[in-house]
C-alpha cells in the first residue's frame, strides 16, 4: 500500500511538472495579428525628376503677351478655340476639389471655390459674360498634362507650377502667383526643415514638382506619393507619414483645417503658378493672359487674394505679368 | 487468430476463453438445436443492429433538415445581409457627401440602419462559423475592419460639417477600405455559407448506404432462415419469422418512401429556395456595386472614369435591354417560373432595373454636358424618377424576391422534415415486432427438441 502511494505521489508530481511547462497557459481567445491602418487609394513611393534641362527657359516669362484689349463676350473669330468653347456653352476646367483655399467644394453651397477657381470664373466671364458657365472636372496632379493633351479640359487651374519640361507638352499663361515648397509637421515635432527628416516618411502628390524634389533631396527623406494633397493631410493626421512637403499655399490650407499642424523651414523651391492650356492656340493663350491682366488691373486679383490667402503666409505683392512676347 | 493464442505456454489444458467459446459453438452447430439457437441469435443481433442503424439514420436526417431550416439557411441569409448593408452604407455615405455639409436626415438614418444591420448580421455570422476556417477568417476580417470604416466615415462627417475638404478625402479612404477589404470578405463569406447550405442539402438527400446494406442483409437472412426451416421441418410457414419479415418489409417500404419524398422536397427547396436566393443575392450584389459606382463617379467629379467603366462592365450581367437570357435577373425569372410571388417580385425588379439604368445614362449625359448640379440631383434626389428612388425600388423588389425565395426554402424543407414524422419511432416498433417474431418463431422449433 505504502509503495503504491509513493508511486502515485511521484506520478502526480511528474504530471504537474509537465502541465506547468506546457499546457497550463491561458489561451489567447482572439489573436488579432498586426493592425493594418487604412490607406487612401493609390499610395506610392518617390518619383524621379524630369530629365529635361532646366536652364532652357525662364518659367516666369514663358507666355505670350495679350493682343490689345479683350474682345467682348461672344465676339470671337470663326474657327478659333474661343469660338468653339463659346458655341459649346461652357468652359471645361481641370481643377481640384480637395485643396483648401485654392480649389475646393464649399459644402454649404455645393459650389466650387478658391483662388484658382476665381481665375477660372474670370475666364468664363470673359467668354460668356457669366462666371458660372463652367464644367469643373476634378483631376489629380498627375493627370494635368494628359487631360489637356486629350482635350478633356480647356484650361487647368490647379496649383500648376510652370516648368520648362511641362512647357514642352502644354502651353502656360503668365505666372499669376508664386508659391514655394515648404514642410508641414505636427505641432510637437522638433523638425525645423526637410534636413531634419532624414529617413522619415514625407508625403506629396503624385506627379507634382514637390514629389520630384523630395525624391532627390540630399537629406534622404522617404517620399510617399498619393493622388491628392488631401490624402497627404489625412495620412499626416493618422500618423502614417511624418510630414507633408509641398507649396506653402497648399500647406497653409491644411493648417487652416487642422491647427495642430505647423509649417516649418524656408521655401526650398520657387513654384510659379500658371494656367495650363492645350498646346497649339496662341490666340487663346493671349486671351487668357488678357483676362489675368484685367483681373490684376481691376483689383479682382487683390480681392481674391485677400479673401483666400492673406495672412496664411508671407505677404505676396500683386504680380507683374511677364511675357516672352 | 486469438483462438490459438499461447498454446505452447499453457499447453492443451489451459485454453483461452474465446477459443473455448468458438469450440463450443462449432460443436453445438453440428447439432440441430444448436444450429437453431445460432440462427436465432444471429437473426436477433442483426435485427437489433439494423433497427438501431435505421432509427439513428432517420434521427440524424431529421437533425440535418432541422439544421438546414434553423441554422444553415439563416446563416447564409445573414452573410448576404452583411454584404447588402455594408454596400448600401457606403453608397449612402457617398450620397450624403454629395448632398453637402449637413447630410439629409433620411440619408443619415439609412446609413445608421445599414451599419446596425451589418453589425447584427455579423454577430450572427460570428456565432456560427462552425469551425469552418475560411468563414472564421472572413468574419474576423469583417469584425476588425468595420469599426475602422465607421470611424473614418464619422471623421469625414466632422470635417464636412466644418466645410473642410479633408472630409472628402476621409470618405474616399473609407470607401477604399470598404471596396478593397470589407466587401470582398463579405462576398467570400456568403459564398462559403451558400456552399455549406448546399452541402447540408446534399446530406439530406443522400442515399443511406449503411442502412440499406444492413436491411438487405437482414431480409436475406430472414428469407434464408425460412427456406432452411421449411426444408428441415415439414411446415410450410414459420409464422414468427414471417411476421418478422413483414415487419422489416413494411419498414423498408415506409422508410424508402419517406426518404424519396423527403429528398424530392429538399431538391425543390434547393431549386425554388436556395438556388433562387443565390441568384437573387448575386443580382443584388451587382446592383449595389453599380449604384456605388454611380455615386462615386459623381463624388470623384470627373476624376473617376474607372467607376463608370466598372458600371458599364457590371450592368450587362444584371439586366439587358431585350431581357437577355444571360443576365442574373433573367435567370432569377426562369427559376421563379412556378412561384407566383417570387415571380412578380422578380418582374418588378427587372422593370426597376431597366428604368434605373436609363436614369443612369441620363445622369451621365447631363454630367458630361456640364450640368453637374442637375446630375447630382438626378442621382440622389427624392423625386420618383431619380436614380436613388429607382434603385431603392429595385433593391426592395430584390429584397421581396429574396424573402419569398427564403420562404419557399423553409416551407419545402419543412415538408421534407414532415415526411420523416413518426418514421423513427415506427422503425423502432417494427424492429421490436421483428425481434419478437424471430424469437418466437425459432423458440417454437427449439421446443420440439425437448
Give the end-to-end CA distance of chain A in Å, rounded to a whole number. Answer: 117
Least confident of A52-56, A59-63, B43-47, B375-379: A52-56
Per-residue pLDDT tens over the stretch B232-263: 877 778 899 999 999 999 999 999 999 999 99
- Cα distance from B133 to chain A (closest Cα, Å)? 14
* DSSP code for A269: S
Residue B2: its pLDDT value, please? 44
A230 touches chain B (CB under 8 A): yes
Residue A158: its pLDDT value, please? 93
Indicate the domain borders of chain B.
35-204+231-444
Rounded CA gap, A316 and A294, in Å? 18
Rounded CA gap, B265 and B342, in Å? 18
On the question of pLDDT at B162 being above 70, the answer is yes
Residues of B with CB under 8 A from a CB of A: 100-101, 140, 144-145, 148-149, 152, 159-160, 162-170, 172-174, 176-177, 300-303, 370, 372-373, 376
Rounded CA gap, A317 and A247, in Å? 17
Q: Which residue has the higher pLDDT, B95 or A233?
A: A233
Residues 6+ apart with CB under 8 A from A229: A96, A98, A99, A204, A205, A244, A246, A250, A254
3-state DSSP call for residue A34? Answer: coil
Query: Which chain B positions have a beta carbon within 8 Å of A109's beta carbon?
Result: 100
On the question of pLDDT at A203 being above 50, the answer is yes
Among partner residues B149, B163, B173, which is closest to A107 by beta-carbon distance? B163
Rounded CA gap, B290 and B308, in Å? 9
Residue B7: its pLDDT value, please? 46
Per-residue pLDDT tens over the stretch A205-250: 998 999 999 998 999 999 999 988 899 999 999 999 999 999 999 9
Q: Tell whether domain A181-264 is in CATH 3.40.50.300.
A: no
A99 touches chain B (CB under 8 A): yes
On the question of pLDDT at A131 being above 50, the answer is yes
Bridge partners (DSSP) of residue A92 are A135
Q: Do B169 and A257 touch (CB under 8 A)?
A: no
Nearest CA in chain A to B98: A110
Give the end-to-end CA distance of chain B in Å, rounded to a whole number. Answer: 36
Radius of gyration (C-alpha) of chain A in whole angstroms? 28
On the question of pLDDT at B221 being above 90, the answer is yes
The CATH H-level superfamily of A59-178+272-308 is Periplasmic binding protein-like II (3.40.190.10)
Q: Do A230 and B152 touch (CB under 8 A)?
A: no
Instruction: Say yes or no: do domains A59-178+272-308 and A181-264 share a fold.
Output: yes
| Closest by CA position to B449, among listed B92, B113, B33 | B33
The angle subtended at Cα B55 by Cα B53 and Cα B57, nearest 5°, is: 65
Indicate the domain borders of chain A.
59-178+272-308, 181-264
Amino acid at each position: 500500500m505504502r509503495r503504491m502511494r509513493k508511486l502515485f505521489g511521484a506520478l502526480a508530481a511528474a504530471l504537474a511538472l509537465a502541465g506547468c511547462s506546457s499546457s497550463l497557459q491561458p489561451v489567447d481567445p482572439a489573436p488579432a495579428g498586426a493592425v493594418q491602418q487604412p490607406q487612401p487609394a493609390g499610395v506610392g513611393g518617390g518619383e524621379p525628376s524630369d530629365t529635361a534641362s532646366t536652364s532652357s527657359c525662364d518659367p516666369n516669362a514663358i507666355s505670350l503677351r495679350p493682343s490689345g484689349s479683350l474682345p467682348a463676350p461672344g465676339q470671337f473669330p470663326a474657327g478659333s478655340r474661343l469660338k468653339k468653347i463659346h458655341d459649346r456653352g461652357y468652359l471645361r476646367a481641370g481643377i481640384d476639389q480637395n485643396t483648401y483655399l485654392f480649389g475646393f467644394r464649399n459644402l454649404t453651397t455645393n459650389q466650387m471655390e478658391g483662388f484658382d477657381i476665381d481665375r477660372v470664373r474670370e475666364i468664363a466671364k470673359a467668354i460668356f459674360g457669366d462666371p458660372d458657365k463652367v464644367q469643373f472636372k476634378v483631376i489629380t496632379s498627375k493627370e494635368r498634362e494628359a487631360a489637356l493633351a486629350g482635350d478633356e479640359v480647356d484650361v487647368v487651374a490647379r496649383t500648376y507650377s510652370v516648368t520648362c519640361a511641362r512647357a514642352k507638352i502644354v502651353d502656360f499663361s503668365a505666372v499669376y502667383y508664386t508659391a514655394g515648397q515648404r514642410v508641414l509637421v505636427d505641432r510637437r515635432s522638433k523638425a525645423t526643415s526637410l534636413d531634419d527628416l532624414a529617413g522619415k516618411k514625407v508625403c506629396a502628390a503624385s506627379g507634382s514638382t514637390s514629389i520630384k524634389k523630395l525624391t532627390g533631396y540630399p537629406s534622404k527623406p522617404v517620399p510617399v506619393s498619393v493622388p491628392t494633397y488631401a490624402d497627404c493631410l489625412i495620412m499626416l493626421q493618422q500618423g502614417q507619414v511624418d510630414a507633408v512637403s509641398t507649396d506653402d499655399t497648399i500647406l497653409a490650407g491644411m493648417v487652416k483645417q487642422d491647427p495642430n499642424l505647423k509649417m516649418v523651414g524656408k521655401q526650398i523651391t520657387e513654384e510659379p503658378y500658371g494656367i495650363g492650356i492645350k498646346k497649339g492656340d496662341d490666340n487663346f493663350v493671349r486671351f487668357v493672359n488678357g483676362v489675368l491682366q484685367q483681373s490684376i488691373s481691376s483689383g479682382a486679383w487683390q480681392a481674391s487674394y485677400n479673401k483666400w490667402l492673406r495672412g496664411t503666409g508671407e505677404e505676396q505683392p500683386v504680380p507683374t505679368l511677364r511675357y516672352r512676347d | 487468430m486469438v483462438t490459438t493464442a499461447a498454446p505452447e505456454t499453457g499447453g492443451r489444458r489451459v485454453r483461452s476463453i474465446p477459443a473455448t467459446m468458438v469450440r463450443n459453438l462449432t460443436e453445438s452447430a453440428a447439432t440441430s438445436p444448436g444450429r437453431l439457437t445460432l440462427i436465432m441469435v444471429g437473426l436477433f443481433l442483426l435485427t437489433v443492429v439494423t433497427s438501431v442503424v435505421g432509427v439513428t439514420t432517420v434521427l440524424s436526417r431529421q437533425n440535418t433538415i432541422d439544421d438546414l431550416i434553423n441554422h444553415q439557411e439563416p446563416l447564409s441569409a445573414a452573410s448576404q445581409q452583411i454584404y447588402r448593408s455594408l454596400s448600401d452604407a457606403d453608397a449612402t455615405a457617398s450620397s450624403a457627401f454629395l448632398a453637402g455639409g449637413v447630410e439629409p436626415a433620411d440619408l443619415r438614418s439609412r446609413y445608421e440602419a445599414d451599419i446596425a444591420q451589418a453589425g447584427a448580421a455579423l454577430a450572427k455570422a460570428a456565432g456560427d462559423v462552425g469551425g469552418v476556417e475560411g468563414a472564421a477568417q472572413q468574419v474576423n476580417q469583417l469584425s476588425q475592419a468595420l469599426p475602422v470604416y465607421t470611424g473614418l466615415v464619422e471623421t469625414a462627417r466632422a470635417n464636412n460639417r466644418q466645410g473642410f475638404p479633408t472630409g472628402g478625402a476621409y470618405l474616399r479612404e473609407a470607401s477604399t477600405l470598404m471596396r478593397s477589404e470589407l466587401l470582398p470578405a463579405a462576398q467570400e463569406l456568403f459564398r462559403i455559407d451558400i456552399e455549406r447550405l448546399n452541402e447540408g442539402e446534399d446530406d439530406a438527400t443522400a442515399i443511406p448506404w449503411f442502412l440499406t446494406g444492413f436491411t438487405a442483409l437482414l431480409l436475406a437472412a430472414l428469407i434464408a432462415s425460412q427456406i432452411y426451416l421449411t426444408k428441415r421441418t415439414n411446415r410450410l410457414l414459420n409464422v414468427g419469422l414471417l411476421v418478422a419479415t413483414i415487419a422489416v418489409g413494411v419498414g423498408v417500404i415506409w422508410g424508402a418512401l419517406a426518404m424519396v419524398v423527403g429528398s424530392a422536397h429538399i431538391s425543390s427547396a434547393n431549386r425554388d429556395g436556395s438556388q433562387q436566393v443565390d441568384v437573387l443575392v448575386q443580382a443584388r450584389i451587382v446592383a449595389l456595386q453599380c449604384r456605388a459606382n454611380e455615386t462615386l463617379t459623381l463624388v470623384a467629379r470627373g476624376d473617376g472614369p474607372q467607376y463608370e467603366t466598372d458600371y458599364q462592365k457590371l450592368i450587362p450581367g444584371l439586366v439587358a435591354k431585350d431581357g437577355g437570357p444571360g443576365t442574373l435577373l433573367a435567370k432569377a425569372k426562369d427559376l421563379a417560373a412556378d412561384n407566383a410571388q417570387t415571380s412578380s417580385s422578380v418582374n418588378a425588379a427587372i422593370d426597376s432595373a431597366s428604368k434605373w439604368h436609363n436614369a443612369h445614362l441620363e445622369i451621365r449625359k447631363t454630367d458630361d454636358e456640364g450640368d453637374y448640379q442637375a446630375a447630382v440631383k438626378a442621382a440622389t434626389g427624392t423625386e420618383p424618377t431619380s436614380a436613388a428612388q429607382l434603385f431603392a425600388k429595385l433593391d426592395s423588389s430584390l429584397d421581396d424576391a429574396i424573402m419569398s425565395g427564403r420562404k419557399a426554402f423553409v416551407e419545402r424543407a419543412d415538408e421534407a422534415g414532415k415526411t420523416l414524422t413518426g418514421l423513427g419511432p415506427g422503425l423502432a416498433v417494427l424492429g421490436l415486432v421483428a425481434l419478437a417474431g424471430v424469437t418466437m418463431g425459432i423458440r417454437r422449433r427449439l421446443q420440439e427438441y425437448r
